[in-house]
């Protein structure tokens, strides 16, 4: 009994001594600092966009801030604009090589790494923004994307869309195929290759260099995004013929790229936070673009003398033929791309059937009912 009483008393003393030591350390500011530092992680997010660029730069910042806030600053994300930490078109390699932990971009910028990445931004005459989310989330698209990016040590998350984009700014009206011969145009992706086959000289510049290229005559025409971004970039100052909608980007996807090894090293709750933050940002990005395109279109016409035009039917038909050629060649690149093409094409076919009796008929009815 005496031995038992001694051990009990000694244990109480040890606990009290430990508590006293803890209190003393906390009072001096020593305790806690190393532990907190170990629990907090800082990531660098790079992007090809200028800082605060409408839609893209703004929502990249929102994503960085959302991850930081949702994690209680356990995972803080610092954003770097195109050219600040790495050049605009090197953000993929920056994340892959650990120069940065994360990026905000769009997949087809990295077509030099894998031709299959065109599908995850979108194809000409392809999926709309809401159709793309259906394919990625519930049609097997995300799994295929993971397969491609996994080969580079990366993980991709859908981060939103601009919705349907504009076809571009042209100094002169385009009335037919003859007007495309020798035209120098800034345009990205498969759409650029389709136009090249119709006689256009394709030039790809980083977003921040589009206006200077138009102004100096390096290009005769340029596409960027849509009314909101194009107004902010001042493209109406160097051309007045504005073609709407785009044939090549009906709902192009934005992405968040994460270094896969670093992502997998995160605790489960932080992984969930990164995924949830990307999903929330995707929804907010499309809403942001939709609202601001609505309010930006009228000023372009009313205040700046912009003329809204549509692609002539002759060009649309020719672009359709050229696109089918290019995509057939794309699908034959390798086994992975062929598999992705089959999945995307099957989903697109179903989406077309639904949109004809769904969205298209509703929009037509809405116009009739508007009086």
The model's pLDDT over 89-147, given as tens digits with 9 standing for 90+, comes to 999 999 999 999 999 999 999 999 999 999 999 999 999 999 999 999 999 999 999 99
- Which pLDDT band, with edges at 50, 70 and 90, does 21 fall under? very low
Given this model, what pLDDT does residue 120 score? 98
CB environment 234-251: b (16+ within 10 A), e (fewer): ebbebbbbbbbebbbbbb
The model's pLDDT over 238-248, given as tens digits with 9 standing for 90+, comes to 999 999 999 99
pLDDT at 15 over 70: no
Q: Work out the mean pLDDT of the chain and round it to a whole number.
A: 91
Alpha carbons within 13 A on the beta-carbon side of 304: 21
- Mode of pairing for the β-strands spanning 154-161 and 253-259: antiparallel
Give all strands of the β-sheet with 41-46 in edge-to-edge order.
75-80, 41-46, 102-105, 253-259, 154-161
pLDDT at 22 over 70: no
pLDDT at 301 over 90: yes
Given this model, what pLDDT does residue 206 score? 86
Distance CA(85)–CA(80), nearest Å, equals: 6
pLDDT at 28 over 60: no
| Residue 50 near residue 82 (C-beta atoms within 8 A) | yes
Given this model, what pLDDT does residue 35 score? 33
Beta strands in the chain (DSSP E): 41-46, 75-80, 102-105, 154-161, 168-170, 184-186, 201-203, 221-222, 241-243, 253-259, 307-309
Given this model, what pLDDT does residue 204 score? 87
176 DSSP assignment? S
- Which pLDDT band, with edges at 50, 70 and 90, does 39 fall under? confident
Given this model, what pLDDT does residue 33 score? 36
pLDDT at 14 over 90: no
pLDDT at 24 over 90: no
Given this model, what pLDDT does residue 27 score? 38
Given this model, what pLDDT does residue 345 score? 98
pTM to 2 decimal places? 0.86
Given this model, what pLDDT does residue 153 score? 98
Take residue 47 and report the two structure tokens written for it.
């992007």
- Mode of pairing for the β-strands spanning 201-203 and 102-105: unpaired
CB environment 160-194: b (16+ within 10 A), e (fewer): bbbbbbbbbbbeeebeeeeebeebebbbbbbbbbb
At residue 318, what are phi and psi to the nearest 5 degrees? -65, -35
The model's pLDDT over 170-212, given as tens digits with 9 standing for 90+, comes to 999 999 999 999 999 999 889 999 999 999 999 988 888 999 9
The model's pLDDT over 247-294, given as tens digits with 9 standing for 90+, comes to 999 999 999 999 999 999 999 999 999 999 999 999 999 999 999 999
**Is 169 in a helix, a strand, or coil?**
strand
**Is 363 in a helix, a strand, or coil?**
helix
Q: What is the mean pLDDT of residues 157-171?
A: 97
Given this model, what pLDDT does residue 371 score? 82
Higher per-residue pLDDT: 19 or 250: 250
């Amino acid at each position: 009994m005496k031995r038992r009483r001694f051990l009990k008393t000694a244990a109480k003393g040890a606990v009290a001594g430990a508590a006293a030591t803890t209190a003393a350390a906390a009072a001096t500011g020593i305790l806690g600092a190393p532990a907190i530092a170990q629990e907090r992680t800082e990531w660098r997010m790079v992007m090809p966009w200028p800082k605060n660029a409408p839609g893209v730069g703004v929502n990249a910042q929102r994503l960085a801030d959302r991850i930081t806030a949702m994690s209680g600053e356990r995972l803080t994300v610092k954003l770097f604009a195109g050219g600040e930490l790495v050049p605009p078109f090197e953000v993929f390699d920056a994340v892959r090589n650990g120069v940065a932990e994360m990026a905000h971009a769009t997949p087809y910028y990295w077509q030099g790494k894998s031709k299959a990445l065109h599908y995850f931004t979108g194809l000409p005459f392809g999926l709309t923004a809401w159709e793309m989310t259906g394919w990625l989330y519930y049609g097997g698209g995300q799994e295929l994307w993971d397969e491609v990016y996994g080969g580079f040590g990366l993980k991709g998350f859908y981060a939103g869309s601009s919705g349907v984009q504009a076809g571009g700014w042209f100094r002169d009206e385009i009335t037919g195929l003859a007007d495309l011969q020798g035209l120098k145009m800034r345009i990205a992706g498969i759409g650029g290759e389709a136009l090249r086959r119709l006689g256009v000289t394709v030039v790809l510049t980083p977003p921040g260099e589009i206006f200077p290229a138009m102004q100096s005559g390096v290009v005769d025409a340029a596409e960027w995004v849509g009314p909101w971004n194009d107004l902010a970039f001042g493209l109406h100052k160097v051309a007045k013929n504005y073609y709407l909608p785009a044939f090549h980007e009906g709902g192009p996807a934005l992405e968040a790229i994460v270094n896969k090894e670093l992502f997998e090293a995160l605790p489960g709750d932080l992984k969930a936070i990164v995924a949830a933050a990307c999903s929330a940002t995707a929804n907010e990005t499309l809403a942001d673009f939709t609202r601001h395109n609505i309010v930006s279109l009228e000023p372009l016409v009313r205040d700046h003398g912009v003329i809204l035009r549509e692609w002539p039917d002759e060009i649309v038909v020719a672009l359709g033929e050229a696109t089918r050629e290019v995509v057939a060649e794309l699908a034959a690149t390798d086994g992975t791309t062929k598999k992705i093409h089959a999945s995307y094409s099957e989903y697109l076919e179903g989406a077309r059937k639904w949109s004809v009796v769904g969205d298209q008929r509703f929009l037509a009815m809405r116009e009739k009912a508007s009086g």
